[in-house]
């Protein structure tokens, strides 16, 4: 391979690498698309999933309940959640771990097609939402 051929090969390889880098950037941007961008947006998604679960409970649609519970848990585990924007993050984590455990419980009760158990767990989950918000408001004062 003479010098100019090697250069050409180098340019071609560089081009391929660049194309890959651009494709990777494009794909990762797309992969992040449905993710919430702020805690407020994130919480709005929580509310939407909670409503879906309530709908599932009223229609005895166990698949919807399970899907909602799993989505809520995933949201709760998302990285955005870990951004410590409120003081006393330690106590805050207690609500989060309780929240995730309740999501698991809810999915399990729905898998067992236990409507009363699912409804009760949903109420406990709702209380967890409200209690964390109460806590957040108290420390914000
Ligand atoms: C571990 C604590 C915690 C739990 C549990 C929690 N939240 Fe929140 N929530 C927050 C915080 C902190 C904010 C303030 C968000 C902000 O200022 O962006 C908030 C704000 C919100 C908001 C207002 C968002 C806006 O538009 O400003 C909604 C709606 C909401 N939460 C719904 C829920 C629902 C529904 C649940 C339960 C399924 C829930 N949250 C559980 C901590 C929590």
Residues 63 and 107 in one domain: yes
Residues 125 and 61 in one domain: yes
Q: Are residues 110 and 56 in the same domain?
A: yes
Residues 68 and 8 in one domain: no
3-state per-residue secondary structure call for 41-56 = HHHHHHHHHHHHHHHH
Do 61 and 113 reside in the same domain of the chain? yes
pLDDT of residue 25: 62
> What was the pLDDT predicted at 113?
98
**pTM (2 d.p.):** 0.76
**Atom number of ligand 1 nearest to Cα 42:** 24
pLDDT in tens, 83-98: 555 556 667 788 889 9
8 and 69 share one domain: no
Overall size of the chain counted in residues:
141
Domain span at residue 72 reads 36-140
Q: Does residue 41 share a domain with residue 29?
A: no
Tell whether the model's pLDDT for residue 116 goes beyond 70.
yes
With a 6 Å cutoff on the Cβ, whether 39 touches ligand 1 is: yes
Q: 80 and 15: one domain? A: no
Is the pLDDT at 108 greater than 60? The verdict is: yes
Average of per-residue pLDDT values in the chain: 81
Compute the distance between CA of residue 67 and CA of residue 39 in angstroms, rounded to an integer. Answer: 22
Which tens digit of pLDDT belongs to each residue from 17-65?
A: 766 666 666 555 555 445 556 778 888 999 999 999 999 999 999 999 9
Do 42 and 109 have their domain in common?
yes
With CA atoms as reference, report the closest residue to 94 among 131, 122, 53: 131
Judge if 136 and 72 occupy the same domain.
yes
Query: How many A from CA of 43 to the centre of ligand 1?
Result: 5
Do 27 and 48 reside in the same domain of the chain? no
* Domain tally, the chain: 2
Residues 75, 22 within the same domain: no
Max intra-chain CA distance, the chain: 79
């Amino acid at each position: 391979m003479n010098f100019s051929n090697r250069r050409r090969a180098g340019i071609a390889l560089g081009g391929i690498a660049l194309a890959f880098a651009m494709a990777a950037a494009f794909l990762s941007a797309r992969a992040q698309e449905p993710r919430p961008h702020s805690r407020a947006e994130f919480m709005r998604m929580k509310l939407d999933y909670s409503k879906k679960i309530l709908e599932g409970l009223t229609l005895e649609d166990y698949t919807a309940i399970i899907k909602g519970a799993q989505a809520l848990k995933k949201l709760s585990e998302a990285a955005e959640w870990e951004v410590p924007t409120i003081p006393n993050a330690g106590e805050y984590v207690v609500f989060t771990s309780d929240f995730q455990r309740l999501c698991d419980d809810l999915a399990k009760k729905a898998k067992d097609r236990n409507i009363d158990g699912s409804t009760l767990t949903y109420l406990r989950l709702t209380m967890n939402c409200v209690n964390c918000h109460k806590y957040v408001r108290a420390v914000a004062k």
